[in-house]
Homo-oligomer: A and B are copies of this chain.
Amino acid sequence: GHYIICGFGRIGSLICKEFAAKPLPFVVVEKDVEMIAQMEQDGHGYLFLPGDATVDDVLLRAGIKRAKGLISVVTSDTENVYITLTARGLNPDLFILARAGEEGSELKLKRAGANKVVSPYLIGGSRMAQAILRPTVVDFIEIATGREHMELQMEEILIPAHSGFIAETLASSGFRKETGVIIVGVKKQTGKMVFNPESHTKIEAHDTLIVLGEPAAIEKLDQLVRCDSCAEELIKKHRKKDE
């Protein structure tokens, strides 16, 4: 499934950049001819569709029936609500992420069918207050979530259904000893979050581990959980050490 990004303003273009870097397939829907001209001039090679995303036919041509998600980031909140309503009507299973500008729009966007709403003003204001109240926490989060600093990354790792680590505990899996990452949370398949999990927490299929560590260490852990033949060996290795 691909993503439909409605609006190529400042926020829309930032999202395109991150998606292209991953890479994640997407199409941009933009009605402003100046923006379209800018996009063509920039030469990123993004797939785009000129048109108004509040119109059923435009979203259908963008492939909304088979899309994985839609991101509504046009400038006007009214239009974001309208796009969300239209998109939800065309695809009930779509993940819809919308931007709220004004206060009070968040509720309207959620009522219109958005799964998640982000308000840049709210986040910006909160980040600025925190930069005074908890400056070291802000630095830490910026380093952990930003791409520039390679010493630290916060990532999520899904435990596959067939993983050999299932029914082991966080300690007996050897994850920390082998890779050095810290597991700061586990999201269970039910959606429940376990924070700061204890070492005897059991690993279950479809757990999402929230980990902190160096990108290379996280990459190693990601490969381990997908590797059928690694589990038994790793568990034995660290069990021996502990004895």
A243 within 8 A of B: no
Complex Cα gap A185–B124 (Å): 24
Binds B, one of A36-44, A135-143, A164-172, A230-238: A135-143
- Please give the distance in Å from A186's CB to the nearest CB on chain B: 9
Q: Are B140 and A193 in contact (CB under 8 A)?
A: yes
Chain B residues with CB under 8 Å of A15's CB are 125, 128-129
Chain B residues with CB under 8 Å of A19's CB are 129, 132-133
A112 within 8 A of B: no
Copies in the complex: 2
A84 within 8 A of B: no
A216 within 8 A of B: no
- Please give the distance in Å from A171's CB to the nearest CB on chain B: 14
Q: Are B145 and A130 in contact (CB under 8 A)?
A: yes
A161 within 8 A of B: no
A24 within 8 A of B: yes
Binds B, one of A54-62, A86-94, A115-123: A115-123
Convert A175-215 into 0s and 1s, putting 1 for each residue whose CB lies closer than 8 angstroms to a CB of B: 00000111011010000010110000000000010101110
- Please give the distance in Å from A65's CB to the nearest CB on chain B: 19
Closest 4 A-B residue pairs measured CB to CB? A120-B124, A14-B125, A18-B129, A136-B156
